Amino acid sequence: MDFDLSEDQRAFQRTARDFARDRLAPHAGRWDEEKHFPAEELREACQLGFGGIYVPEALGGTGLSRLDAAIIFEELAYADPSTTAFLTIHNMVAGMIARFGNDDQRGRWLEDVVMGDKFASYALTEPGCGSDAAALRTRAVAEGNAQYRVNGSKAFISGGGRSDLYAVMLRTGVDGPKGISCVVVEDGSPGLSFGKPESKMGWNSQPTSVVNFTDCHVPVANRLGAEGDGFRTAMMGLDGGRINIAACSLGGAQACLDAALAYVKQRRAFGKTLSEFQALQFKLADMATELEAARLMVHRAAVALDTGARDATLRCAMAKRFATDACSHIVDEALQLHGGYGYIKDYQIERYLRDLRVHRILEGTNEIMRVIIARKLLEAS
């Protein structure tokens, strides 16, 4: 096994790092406070190739791997986990259109999504079923051969009210996972509406809202894949989404560890710098060790997904569970090392703490990750 990055990987890592430093970091605190959606900067990221990272080059994307994507998202999240997380969702939908869409659908949507001319959201969670995705109730009834009439709602949708396309999981058939299909709903569709933007603890640079469908008319031609394939499509997307959100946690935790290292070397107490106290040295050592372990798990899971390994779902769940828990703890410890200053917005640690907290909930809660891990282990034994 080679743990060193290739020259190509180092090149796009530098590109992502430079973009994060120049275009995200100077504004991330203000975007958080003002709840500003940075559309211009997101388009710039897409134009660098970060809007269709795992869309094949033949379809206009960058054609990179899941491991490559994890490297990029970690660098971007070092400056702004919230904005980066929206970009991961946008990439998820781009990948779904590329993989499951037909030529007509790719022609209609893919270039605009890859280039950031249209933003895309993923809509699975509902007000009455979060972790139990197979129980979703939003329903599409065929009206003839050309149109669905959709009724229901989706909750906690990143980009709700701001995105141009919504990849929606809805029920076109029987109860359970076999009755679910994936349909792309375009903004402006008759019967599509949005709830008020949610007031959130973090992730404030991206709007989140309920998405409502009231006799919403959607062309059957907007369905990705066959009827009944939607749950499989959703779960395949979530494996990658778990890697992506874990990578965002890595970036935020690395930023806070770096900030803590700089702070303890200049802050003095009892006649010494904080870095001279062995108790705090041990804390820093544990933070760095946990972060490195999390990064290795995320990269290993990404490789499993790239190679189509049989245990890819298991590894993605493990990496997501471990990395999001560990990185939340690292950020909290970094805040503690800053003392009262860590609690003040000027130092930005509290922003990372708020942004990373939700990573333990979304893309499947960490409790559900444990269910998946245990189930896969028992199946293999």
Active-site residues, by number, are 363
**What residues pair up with 141 in beta bridges, in sequence order?**
149
Could you say which DSSP state residue 364 is in?
A: S
Exposure string of 281-320, with b = 16+ CB inside 10 Å and e = fewer, is eebbeebeebbeebbebbbbbbbbbbeeeeebbbbbbbbb
Query: What is the Cα–Cα distance from 100 to 233, expressed in whole angstroms?
Result: 8
Query: What is the Cα–Cα distance from 166 to 194, expressed in whole angstroms?
Result: 12
Between helix 81-100 and helix 349-357 the angle, nearest 10°, is 40
Q: Are strands 165-171 and 180-186 parallel, antiparallel or unpaired?
A: antiparallel
- Maximum distance among all Cα pairs of the chain, rounded to whole angstroms: 80
Cβ 251 vs Cβ 229: under 8 Å: no
**Single-letter residue type at 306:** D
Query: What is the Cα–Cα distance from 103 to 271, expressed in whole angstroms?
Result: 69
Query: What is the Cα–Cα distance from 52 to 88, expressed in whole angstroms?
Result: 10
The DSSP string of 160-193 is TTT-SEEEEEEESSSSSGGGEEEEEEETT-TTEE
Q: Is 144 exposed, middle or buried (0-12, 13-18, 19+ CB in 10 A)?
A: exposed
Cβ 241 vs Cβ 167: under 8 Å: no
